[in-house]
Structure formats: C-alpha cells, structure tokens
A and B are shown apart, each in its own frame.
Chain A
C-alpha cells in the first residue's frame, strides 16, 4: 500500500475514533476520584493479613500471583524467541572481532573509563540486588531489581572490552538464570497444590511487618522473578552484542581489547 492510501485509511479511522474517544473520556470518573473498590480494599486488608508494606509487590506476588506467572511465561517466550531467531541465523560460535563501520574512528579505552566502569558496575549490581531483596518492604522488587542488575553487565562491557566481558558473563549462566528462575517460580506455585491447597497459597510463615523476610511465599516468588529477569535481559544484551561482531577473517583493526 502506498503512503497516501495509508494516510487516507488513518484519517478514516480517526473520524470514527475521535468522537468515541472524546465521549469515553468525558464519561470517565473525574481525575483523582477513582471509583474502583479493589485497590482500596487491598490497601486496607493486606498489611495486616500478609505482614508486608509494599502493596504493589503484594498484588503482584500474592493476590494476583497467578497473573504474574502468566507474565513470566510471556517474558520467557519473548526472550527465547529473540534468542532462537538470532542464534538460528548466526550459529552459536562467538566472533572474535568487533564489527567496524568504515570511516569511524576506533578510540582506545582510557584508564579512567575502566576504573569508573568497574566501580559503577559493582554499585549498580549491588543496588539491583538490594532493590530486589527489599521488594516486599520498600519500592522495588524482582522486576526492577533484575533490570538494574542486567544493566550493570553493560557497564562491565564498557569498561572491560568484549573478550573479558564474555569471560565474565557466560551465555550458559544467563540461560540457566532465565529458565531456572521461571522454573522455580512454577515450582513455588505448585508446592501448595501438594498439600491440598490452591496454587500460590501463601503457606510459609509471614514474618514481621517491615522485616526483610516478611511476606512468606512472596519472598521466594520475588527472588525467582529477580533471577529470571536478570537472566532474560542479560541474555538479550549478550545476543544483541554478539550480533554486532564481524567474522574473524575480517581485517579491520579491532578495538583495544584488554
């Protein structure tokens, strides 16, 4: 379809949609006065019922834990699909040389960059783990902590160069983290079934309010998601970086790998 025809279709769609969207927007409850009862009920009941302070984590990992299991499966499927597509086209070998676009300068890495990246990568990883572990108490949780931890891998790449980075961040370890986290989540969901309770029933002791290990089964599920998200995004970054490598016979000068 040519560009003008697409715009005509878009205009036709907008003629139908704009009045209906305006109608719906005018009929919604006024901003700042929510009419839903589910959220306030959770806010009122759960701190006492589950001994946790972060209601978002409580909804994710306990009240609507089964939905999160579905989200986790979507995450694993999307990452698996991306990795299969990339590896299927490229093969599983690691390429030794950085790809290089002609006419672009290759700059050596300075010592200051290496030092700053080592420090910040360590701190970022620590912050990710901290955020994930305190998920049931303060803002944070497995999803955010996992992404922060995975982004520390990129700082490591910036500081250490490709070869050293590949020695530290193993593809197999990322595979194991991703699949293992999701598997442990499924096991944690199934354990209450064994003792005759519905799936994801919180059977563990709840612990103390505002304590690091409060929330019972939530702590386990939170940690499983942290492992899985770290593995997923680590694997995605690894495979995307692998895609920017050139075959070894390429004679372009490599970046200064340490």
Chain B
C-alpha cells in the first residue's frame, strides 16, 4: 500500500504550529510516525463488527495487516457465550456452545442493536433465538442470562473487547483507539448504540465508518484513481450498495441504499426450509420443533452455502438429525447442485437489484458509467451471486479483493489516518436516510434528505401555538415515508427553556445536525434569550449517559476471557476455553478462511482436515494453542454429549438468527401472547403529551401551514403553525395542513389523498 501521495490542494502546510495546541503527542507537521518504532507511535485499529463474523486490522508502516487470532483465523465469530461460572467467551469456541447451551449463547446480536423491543427484527429473533430477549425501559431490550440482563451495546462491547485483545496480542501494545464499521444503511439509533459499545469496550471510537465506504477506501487508497465504483455488500444480515467517486485522495459517496433485513442468513433459511419440508414429507416429523435439529440444519445450510462457493454440487449429510420419541434415529442425506440452490435464493439476489436501481438513480449514474464493481461479504463468494451481479452491472466484478477482510482493512487505513498528522484520504460520506421532524397528522416532514453529504446542519424556526405555552415537544424521525409511523423514531424531547409569551411571539430555533459518523444531534434555542437545550438524539430505548457510565463502571466486559494473548515470552498464544464444552466434543477451528470448505457431514470435514481437533492442531505461525482441556467445565455439564450433536460444533457455522418461524403451536402461542402486551405503535410513543406540552409553529416556512407535533392536537386545543418566511398570519388561517385537506371523521381519504407524494 505504500505510495506517493500527491500533495493535496489546500493550505495545511502553511499552518503555524505555534498557534495550534495539537492534542496528544502528535504535533502538526510532517513528522511521520517513526517507522519500526511501533512502541512509540499511536496505534489505532479498524474493526469490522459483523453480524456473524468480525475482523480486525491495523495499518503500520504503510502496510495494512489483518490481525489473526491465535488460531490463524482472520475472522472471529460474533458470538458471546456466558458460562455458568460467570466467565464469558467470544468467538468460534463460543459459537460451539450454540448447540449445547443455546440459551446462554448470544449470536447475531448485530441484528438487534439499536432496535426497539416492538420492532419486527426483535419479533423474529424472539421466535428463533434460544436466548432470552426481554423488554427494558422505554421500549428497549436486554438479553437475559440467568438473573443478569445485558444491553445490546454491552454484548457488542464483549465482541469488540475480544477483537481488541487479538489486536493487542498481535501488535504487542495496548490499543485504545478504533474505527468501527457499520452497514451504510444503519440508522442513528444503531450507530449510536455501536459507538456506545466501543466506549464500553474501553475504546475511543475515532469514527463510525460505513462498511462500503471502508471497502472503497481499501480498494482505492493510495492508488491515485479517478473512478466511479459501486460497492455491492451482502453481509450476514444486511445488504448495502454505495456508489462512490474516487478522485485521487477524495472518496466521495454519491449515494447509498440498503436493506437491513437481507443477508446471507436468509439464503440459509431458504435451504433450511427446503430440508425441513422434505424431511417432514418423508417422515412426518417437523424438525422445526426441535431446537437441536434446527441448529444442525442451520449448520448444514451454512456449510452448503460455503461449499457451493467452490463446487457445483455439495453433499449434505446430517446423521441423526433427530431421534424421535420411539427411539428411531433419522438422518438427512442429499446432494444439492448450484442450480437447485440458485432456484432457492434467486429472488433474494434479485431483490438487491431494486435497491441498486435506487442507488444508481440517486447517484445520477447508470451501470455502464461505473468503472468497477467491488463485492463485499461472504455470500459474494457464491459463483451464482457473482454471475447475477455481473449480469446486472454488465461487467466483471473486481478480482483479488477478499470480501471478508476488505472492510476491516479500510477501517484500519482510516484509523491510521485519523491518528496520523498526515491526512492521506478524505472521506465524503452521506446520510443514508432522510431526517424528519414530526408534524401534525402523524406526518414527518423532511429536514435533511437522504444522500445529503455529511457533516450537515439545518435550522428551522418554530413558535408556540398558545398564549403562555410552557413547552414544546420535538420528535425526530429517520426514514423515507411522510407517515411518521413508517419511519424510525430517533427520539423526542420537550423544550421549555424559553421566555413565555403570547402565541406566535416566541421564536425557537431548532437545529438538526448530522456529523461525520452519521450521528444526529438536535439543539433548541430560544431566540430571545439565547438559552439552548441540546440533546444527543437518543433512542428512547437507548442507553442514557448515566446508564452508560454505570455499565462502564460495572465492567462486566472484563469477564470476557480473551482467546488470544501473549505469553511471558511475548509469543501469541491461544486459549480455547475448553471447559465450556463437553469433554467428548472435539473443539476445533477452521484453519483459514480460504481453506477448502466442502460440506458438511462431520466425517468429511475431519477427513479433509479443514477443521482440526485441537489436540491434533498443527503449529500455526505465532500461535500456540493451549492444550489442556478440563474435562467437565460448568458449561459442559448437562449430558448433551449423549445427544449425538457433536458435529455442528466442529463446523465454522453461522451463528445468525435464521428468520424462520416455529411451527410449534405452544411456542407460537407463548410468543404471540408475550408480544401482544408489548406491541407498541411507534407513532404512539410520546403521544402522551402532557398539559402544556404543545406543538410548535415553524416561523420561517413558506406560507403553507405545517403543523408540528403531537397526536392529540384536537384535545389540546389545536396544533401550532409553522410560519413561512413570507408568511402572513392573516392569510394563513384557517390552520389546516395541506395534507389534511378534507380530513374529517368518517371520510375515506384514499380517494382524495393521492397528492401526498414527497416532493423530490
């Protein structure tokens, strides 16, 4: 990656260092970190915190290195296992627990971070995950293990903490700074929660970076390119597409679009369904009712996907997938061809192209304008995915880019850039979702459109509706719908720090800002007094500053036992926590990601030695796996070893929450019963306006009368007006928002309301 950068245009060289008290020990100027003096230079790592796997990298001396764990693996499973003795394990060893101790093994937590308890995603996870997801204050959620409840940022912090340990072992010095990547389509709630996770893990999060942008940086850094590229990123749980223009050292995101409900695990679900249906047709036994069988199916499905990345046909063998009540043992044996698989998942792949159409259109380009297509994410190893993408973009995707590592590498490049005094790349990113403010009629008016570059700030001025009004309520949303309820509520706050006055006299400036992390903040200021109340827009279910401090103080993250550390001779060693699995279950690990992964019957695997029993593990460079294995650790107790389910634990299986329903009537009953109490209309949050918490009028709106605020205007005596720059109050009566024309009880709006399109 070494290269000569053209000097950027600009005047940094002219800065007078004496006037700038640069923070830390890195004075401004051209002083590069001393090469080969890693102990002295400031280190910052890049972490790709994935749904199913995470990866950490660092850039030193101009070279980007992916930091492997003690077992030589570039990626570490994003799985957290809670042992009965209180210890916590993260990674592939933890993943092996899913089968044995599903209720203590948290996987796919990225799908839950920054979500409300009532969200679809949480519903799905509750239906299929064995660990307990419970509701917390303000529609938040926690994961409950025994009596302990963990917030999602805390779970993510445990994964980050493991990645940090890997980095520290490999780099040989403490690491406190990181760039963490998120899907480009993550909303503010999810970004904020991820940033909180970094803090809990003891990391200063230099930047929340979009995954596709990181991939583009890794691709284009230091190459002096002038190209337009698309990053097609299909991860475990999310799909993102970003279109970028790379102009030398500037990486400008032209547009981004995505789907946070589409990922490789949806592919797995299709195959699980097929296998379960076939099995049910053949035997009359529904495997979906048996968690262990289901886990085996998931392992097999993920293995098949990986196998089909390399072969045209794979053999699926699941011996003893289930033993029925009468003691009969059933197996699954079936071959699966690429063509059959394509038929299963083709519509999923096709659905990404609708998102691509949108991104290209927003970027103002067509496919043939693109100079390159970069594929990111494990599923892009499937030839069928590559073929379909090639067909859509009418060009060959770029070769030679590791789809599992490229994001962490880009994050590492950016991290290095942020701690160095040399700025070698400029990332000009965009906000993926429109920022909106709640107005009358449960509508949400756009303040900052999606694909607007960040950082950005917009101010609106509002006034009160009633004489002597005490406070105003401000609700902030993200999303593309004019209907408030179809957007994500980022937060709401009540502002009362203003000089009370007659209606229309008070002027309150509300400033919306999106920073370079894509994180939103909102400030309200009284023009008369200059008094301000600002808020980090906090997910109602998110962590408050106090809660965050409490979590950091409690430091449960310290219970994570790093698998990768340095021994007294400064050698990196691995310590697979064997006590966490039954003694007769071989603990294994995948040697390298690229090793031939054929499928899936356990015998095959062992014979092909892609996965090695620990005690047979060869010496891996820089790795000395711990050998001893306590025979009966607390997590191993419980007799699982008799269940013939050892094979999945030998596989590098996906830990993602498959989106499949359960057929178990009891479970469905319990689930829906559980849920009905908790389903909350997002639009109804904060509908409990109290007393004088009235709505605001925007003072500098054009003379249409948008009514901002709560849902109960009628009872509260009517909403307040948003007043135009050129507004004449007299002309604006009666107070009816445009969109509310003809709205009256019992009126069918659908005939009349076809004019509700968002102006583009």
Partners in one complex: no
Report which A residues bind B (CB closer than 8 A).
none
Interface residues of B (CB under 8 A from A): none
